[in-house]
């Protein structure tokens, strides 16, 4: 008795199907639970900085959100003016300087309002921008971090902390 041996390969395991599925995923926004988790981190950091209970980590979280908002806006997801981003950069730079010098990590009322708008825009971007745009913004951010690490440290040069995405 002969048995016909056929290869039982599921359609979904074929490379072209996997690639197509991955391509479609990049066109969709981030899954809601993941977006909510990132959003919550930013809102918790913002609240801690508002109450004067922040630290270097909460300031970095706000700084990263600010940079990603700008990068995503540059990619066409949301609107952020150069003036808004420069003003927010000045606010977070002052918070870094104050925190480093005095140990008090906080945002004043105006700084809080600026970063509340940034957090709101970030929420919208997380819910609407496709994963491909999020990946592009993250890659640009990572590239700017690598580039800034190759420059002399602000502490060594005596200059104030500046963010240069």
For the chain, the three-class secondary structure string (H helix, E strand, C coil) is CCCCCCCCCCHHHCHHHHHHHHHHHHHCECCHHHHHHHHHHHHHHHHHHHCCCCCHHHHHHHHHHHHHHHHHHHCCCCCCCHHHHHHHHHHHHHHHHHHHHHCCCCCCHHHHHHHHHHHHHHHHHHHHCEHHHHHHHHHHHHHHHHHHHCCCCHHHHCCCCCCCC
Q: What is the pLDDT of residue 145?
A: 84
Residue 163 has pLDDT above 50, yes or no: no
pLDDT tens per residue, range 109-142: 999 999 999 999 999 999 999 999 999 999 999 9
Q: What is the pTM of this model?
A: 0.77
Q: Is pLDDT larger for residue 154 or for residue 162?
A: 154
Name the percent of the chain lying above pLDDT 90: 70
pLDDT tens per residue, range 36-69: 999 999 999 999 999 999 999 999 999 999 999 9
Least confident segment among 27-31, 50-54, 143-147: 143-147
């Amino acid at each position: 008795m002969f048995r016909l041996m056929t290869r039982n390969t599921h359609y979904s395991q074929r490379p072209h199907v996997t690639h197509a599925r991955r391509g479609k995923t990049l066109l969709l926004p981030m899954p809601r639970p993941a977006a909510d988790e990132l959003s919550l981190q930013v809102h918790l950091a913002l609240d801690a900085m508002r109450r004067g209970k922040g630290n270097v980590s909460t300031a970095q979280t706000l700084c990263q959100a600010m940079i990603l908002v700008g990068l995503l806006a540059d990619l066409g997801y949301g609107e952020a003016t150069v003036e808004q981003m420069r003003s927010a950069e000045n606010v977070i730079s002052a918070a870094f300087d104050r925190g480093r010098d005095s140990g008090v990590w906080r945002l004043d009322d105006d700084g809080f309002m600026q970063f509340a708008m940034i957090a709101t825009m970030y929420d919208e971007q997380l819910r609407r921008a496709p994963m491909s745009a999020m990946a592009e913004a993250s890659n640009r951010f990572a590239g700017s971090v690598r580039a800034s690490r190759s420059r002399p440290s602000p502490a060594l040069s005596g200059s104030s902390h500046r963010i240069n995405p």
